[in-house]
Amino acid sequence: MDGNMKAEDALADIVSRMVQLVIRWGRGRTGGSTALDLFVQRARHQGRRVRPLDGDLRSRTLSTLYPAFDAEGRPIPDGASSPLTDELPDVKSWMSNAFDQMVQDAVSCVLDLSGGDRVLQEYLRDLALIPFCREFGVEPTVAMFLGPEMEDFRHATQLIKSGELRCERTVLVLNEGVIRHGQTTLGAFDAILGHPDFEALVKDGVRPVFMRRLTCLSVLRERGLGFYDVLDGKSDRFGVKASPTLYHMTKTWLDTFEREHEAAGTKEWLP
């Protein structure tokens, strides 16, 4: 090691080379797919490979954002994969192949298990996923997303308490992005933050992280701009760069994301 290298730089280099597996678990329609997309974009922007695993056959968000093949039918490196159907044999084959490739290629993955698909959950339990990861040097993180509705919180709490996918690195993401239009974000999560079960989860090691609302998200999607494309001054599909306001909103959102995970101590859990 270079004697001039700072300790924190050395640690960051080690973390950047770890194989990370982030599992989005729990209810759908809570913004988890957007967060996984951000995780992928962030890692690739920083020079790390990440493979999206799309187990959400209802929306196929990651498969749409990261197609496996180009227009000519050629494979796209690290494009998203998904099971052919939701039938158990197809799911088992897909999951086994995806995890085998993750270990063999030493490439981090994000896994979307939106909607509480019982078939996928049962297979993950059969595999004993967390011990599997430990055996092969993979660092797993379970990310659960919720809006301000108490039903979201109750569902997340029940899943965590069930121990079905017990993981030392569990993040509870309070997502302002799914707050209904016309509602203010100020105090939206107060009922959850003050709930005894929330305090118990935090005491048990679950890390709460806020994900702020990005009001221009739909504009970025329509224009085919990635979050870091905006920061890098790249043009959209029409050859037009982001305006100063679009740049500022996106940069502020990304900066806030980094601060939230820094404060929660979860940055090293990301791919």
pLDDT of residue 86: 78
* Inside any domain, residue 270: no
Supply the pLDDT for residue 14. 44
Task: Reduce the DSSP state of residue 211 to 3 states and report it.
Answer: strand
Is residue 240 situated within a structural domain? no
Q: Which single residue is written with the structure tokens 């929660």?
A: 264
E strands within 27-106? Answer: 50-54
Assigned token pair, 251? 């940069």
**Pairing mode, strands 207-211 and 19-26:** unpaired
Query: In the β-sheet with 50-54, what is the strand arrangement from edge to edge?
Result: 50-54, 108-114, 19-26, 138-146, 170-175, 207-211
Q: Are 36 and 110 in contact (CB under 8 A)?
A: yes
Which of 249, 217, 231, 256 lies closest to 61 in space, CA to CA? Answer: 217
Total number of residues shown for the chain: 271
Cβ atoms 26, 84 nearer than 8 A: no
168, 265 in Cβ contact below 8 A?
no
CA atoms within 13 A on the CB side of 74: 2
In a domain, 232, yes or no: no
Whether 253 maps to a domain, the answer reads no
8, part of any domain: no
Residue whose structure tokens are 């309070």 = 174
Alpha carbon distance 106, 83 (integer Å): 21
Domain count, the chain: 1
Please report whether residue 188 resides in a domain.
yes
The pLDDT tens digits for 140-152 are 999 999 999 899 8
Q: Does residue 6 lie within any of the structural domains?
A: no
Radius of gyration of the chain, Cα coordinates, nearest whole angstrom: 19
User: What CATH number is given to the structural domain containing 158?
Assistant: 3.40.50.300
Residue 141 lies in a domain: yes
Residue in 23, 9, 65 with CA at minimum distance from that of residue 169: 23
Kindly list the averaged pLDDT for each block of 10 residues, start to end, along the chain of length 271: 51 62 83 93 97 88 93 94 85 90 97 69 80 94 92 89 85 89 73 95 96 94 96 95 97 97 96 95
Predicted pLDDT of residue 111: 93
- Tell the residue number behind the tokens 């194989």, with chain if given: 19
Q: Domain residues for 120?
A: 19-215
